[in-house]
């Protein structure tokens, strides 16, 4: 047994990483739904979920139970095989794309091996292309769900989705060419490292400044690719009931849901990595005081949770919230006490903060912007985004030819 483990150590480590990442991503997904409902509710002067658990924090659990136990009818005349395949395809591809993302620069040394954060090997030369390849296949989940349900609303949703994906995939791919030219590599780690070439500039050394056009195109196209508001025409409630997933119930619906939220996370990761320096700190490298920022965020937040918890109206909340708050405070204190641990969490801290920021922007946009009309969507994609991203490629190439990638 031991020798078998030693012989296949690489395989075992990868499987453990996959299970761990799946657990984390699915948990984050669940709480992303809670976060979205809370933020949108507050934008609209409501409270959002607040009945199940303190501050509605157990709502995702209740939703998950509901998904598992609901009746799961298959519509008459549906193409059974494709009908079952579609949600599986959507979920698998969405979850696979996370595997390409690197989460930290330095490997952890465990059991005499360097273990990198992230599943893909650190020298994956086609990083960003592999990601695009996976997301390019992602549209089939939605399109096939629409077609196989044998319902006109679903079909219209699927059609809209595939048309939208075809139109926006072009600008999505073109918009990152500038970043690739500046980094000279498809590898996501190289792209982040290329943004560290001016360590003293910090925030102002990132790709978002020279590539502001590219970032604009990328972010808009990525929102369209993930079918989120204001580009959520494939599931426009007022016109198509629920769009491509009208005929899906129970856990098959949940699979589409999880797929959508996972691709939101992937896009947020990509935005942070391609344009916002990935795990780089926004402060100049010579500032060491900013290394305590994780603790500065965690300790007051933990104390606030404790304060809020002891005054909470339900007994359950008064019991749970102070414990959670104490745990957060203790974590913040631990980072202050153990400097090596503090150094190690710097990179993941910044990456996760940026991902969180982009997820917030996603939700914010959904709460703020009205949906596009269909012709506006097409005109916007083909007549504005595509030309702008092409101009960005040409501009970047010329600048790099004249002055080099600085």
Partner 1 sequence: MTAPLVVFFVLAALAVIGAVSLILQKHPIHSALSLIVVMVAIAGLYLLMGAEFVAAVQIIVYGGAIMVLFVFVIMLLNAGVEEHTNLSKMAGAPGLLLVLALAGFVAATVAKSGASVQATSQTGALSSTKGISEMVFKDFVYPFELTSFLILVAILGATVLAQREKS
Q: Is 146 in the site for partner 1 (CB under 8 A)?
A: yes
**How many residues touch partner 1 (CB under 8 A)?**
26
Q: Is 381 in the site for partner 1 (CB under 8 A)?
A: no
The neighbouring-strand residues paired with 115 are: 108
Structure tokens at 132: 């695009």
- Looking at the Cβ atoms of 63 and 247, the one nearer to partner 1 is 247
DSSP per-residue letters across 45-90: T---S-SSSGGGTTHHHHHHHHHHHS--PPPTT--HHHHHHHHHHH
- Looking at the Cβ atoms of 21 and 86, the one nearer to partner 1 is 86
Could you give the CA distance from residue 339 to residue 355 in angstroms, rounded to a whole number?
25
Residues in 108-127 that interact with partner 1 by CB under 8 A: 125-126
Per CB under 8 A, the segment of 138-146, 199-207, 283-291, 344-352 that binds partner 1 is 138-146
Binding test (CB under 8 A) with partner 1, winner from 165, 194, 196, 265:
165
Per CB under 8 A, the segment of 160-168, 238-246, 295-303, 313-321 that binds partner 1 is 160-168
- Say if residues 321 and 311 touch (Cβ distance below 8 Å): no
In angstroms, how far is the first alpha carbon of the chain from the final one?
52
- Looking at the Cβ atoms of 74 and 173, the one nearer to partner 1 is 173
**67 Cβ contact partners less than 8 Å away, ≥ 6 residues apart:** 250, 251, 253, 254
Residues in 62-101 that interact with partner 1 by CB under 8 A: 79, 82
Q: How many CB atoms lie within 10 A of CB 210?
A: 21
The neighbouring-strand residues paired with 108 are: 115
Minimum distance, C-beta of residue 94 to partner 1, in the bound complex (Å): 15
Binding test (CB under 8 A) with partner 1, winner from 151, 162, 171, 211:
162
Binding test (CB under 8 A) with partner 1, winner from 34, 83, 116, 140:
140
Minimum distance, C-beta of residue 53 to partner 1, in the bound complex (Å): 41
Could you give the CA distance from residue 183 to residue 287 in angstroms, rounded to a whole number?
25
Binding test (CB under 8 A) with partner 1, winner from 41, 129, 181, 357:
129
Backbone angles phi, psi at 299, to 5 degrees: -65, -50
- Looking at the Cβ atoms of 36 and 247, the one nearer to partner 1 is 247
Backbone angles phi, psi at 101, to 5 degrees: -75, 125
- Looking at the Cβ atoms of 166 and 369, the one nearer to partner 1 is 166
Binding test (CB under 8 A) with partner 1, winner from 18, 26, 159, 326:
159
Per CB under 8 A, the segment of 144-152, 190-198, 269-277, 293-301 that binds partner 1 is 144-152
Minimum distance, C-beta of residue 188 to partner 1, in the bound complex (Å): 13
Q: Is 244 in the site for partner 1 (CB under 8 A)?
A: no
- Say if residues 141 and 89 touch (Cβ distance below 8 Å): yes
- Tell which residue, 322, 367, 317, has the closest CA to residue 51: 317
Q: Is 169 in the site for partner 1 (CB under 8 A)?
A: yes
Per CB under 8 A, the segment of 128-136, 193-201, 320-328, 343-351 that binds partner 1 is 128-136
Angle at 49 between CA 48 and CA 52, to 5 degrees: 165
- Looking at the Cβ atoms of 311 and 383, the one nearer to partner 1 is 383
Binding test (CB under 8 A) with partner 1, winner from 116, 132, 218, 231:
132
Per CB under 8 A, the segment of 134-142, 212-220, 250-258, 392-400 that binds partner 1 is 134-142
Environment class of residue 340 by beta-carbon count within 10 Å: exposed (0-12), middle (13-18) or buried (19+)?
exposed
Q: Is 144 in the site for partner 1 (CB under 8 A)?
A: yes
Residues in 182-201 that interact with partner 1 by CB under 8 A: 186
Binding test (CB under 8 A) with partner 1, winner from 103, 147, 253, 380:
147
HEC string of 281-323 equals: CCCCCCCCHHHHHHHHHHHHHHHHHHHHHHCCCCHHHHHHHHH
- Say if residues 98 and 262 touch (Cβ distance below 8 Å): yes
Could you give the CA distance from residue 123 to residue 177 in angstroms, rounded to a whole number?
20
Residues contributing to the site for partner 1 (CB under 8 A): 79, 82, 125-126, 129-130, 132-133, 136-137, 139-140, 143-144, 146-147, 155, 158-159, 162-163, 165-166, 169, 173, 186
């Amino acid at each position: 047994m031991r020798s078998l483990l030693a012989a296949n150590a690489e395989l075992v480590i990868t499987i453990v990483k996959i299970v761990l990442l799946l657990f984390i991503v699915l948990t984050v997904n669940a709480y992303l739904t809670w976060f979205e409902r809370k933020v949108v509710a507050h934008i609209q002067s409501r409270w959002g979920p607040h009945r199940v658990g303190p501050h509605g924090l157990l709502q995702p659990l209740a939703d998950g139970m509901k998904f598992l136990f609901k009746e799961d009818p298959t519509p008459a005349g549906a193409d059974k095989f494709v009908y079952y395949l579609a949600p599986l395809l959507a979920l698998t591809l969405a979850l696979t794309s996370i595997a390409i993302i690197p989460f930290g620069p330095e490997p952890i040394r465990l059991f005499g091996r360097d273990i990198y954060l992230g599943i893909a090997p650190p020298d994956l030369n086609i990083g960003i292309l592999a990601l695009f390849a996976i997301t390019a296949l992602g549209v089939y989940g939605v399109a096939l769900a629409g077609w196989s349900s044998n319902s006109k609303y679903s079909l219209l949703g699927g059609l809209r989705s595939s048309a939208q994906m075809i139109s926006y995939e072009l600008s999505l791919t073109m918009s990152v060419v500038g970043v690739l030219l500046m980094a000279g590599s498809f590898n996501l780690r190289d792209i982040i490292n290329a943004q560290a070439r001016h360590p003293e500039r910090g925030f102002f050394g990132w790709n978002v400044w020279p590539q502001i056009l590219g970032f604009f195109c990328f972010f808009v196209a990525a929102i369209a690719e993930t079918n989120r508001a204001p580009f959520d025409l494939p599931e426009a409630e007022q016109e198509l009931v629920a769009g491509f997933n009208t005929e899906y119930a129970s856990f098959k619906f949940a699979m589409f849901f999880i797929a959508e939220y996972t691709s939101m996370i992937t896009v947020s990761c990509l935005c942070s990595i391609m344009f916002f320096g990935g795990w780089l700190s926004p402060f100049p490298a010579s500032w060491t005081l900013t290394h305590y920022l994780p603790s500065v965020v965690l300790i007051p937040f933990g104390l606030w949770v404790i304060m809020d918890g002891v005054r909470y109206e339900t007994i359950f909340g008064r019991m749970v919230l102070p414990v959670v708050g104490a745990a957060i405070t203790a974590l913040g204190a631990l980072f202050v006490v153990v400097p090596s641990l503090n150094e190690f969490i710097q990179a993941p801290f910044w990456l996760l903060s940026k991902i969180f920021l982009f997820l917030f922007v996603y939700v914010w946009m959904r709460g703020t912007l009205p949906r596009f009309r269909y012709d506006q969507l097409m005109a916007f994609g083909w007549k504005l985004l595509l030309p702008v991203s092409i101009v960005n490629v040409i501009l970047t190439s010329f600048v790099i030819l004249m002055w080099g990638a600085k």
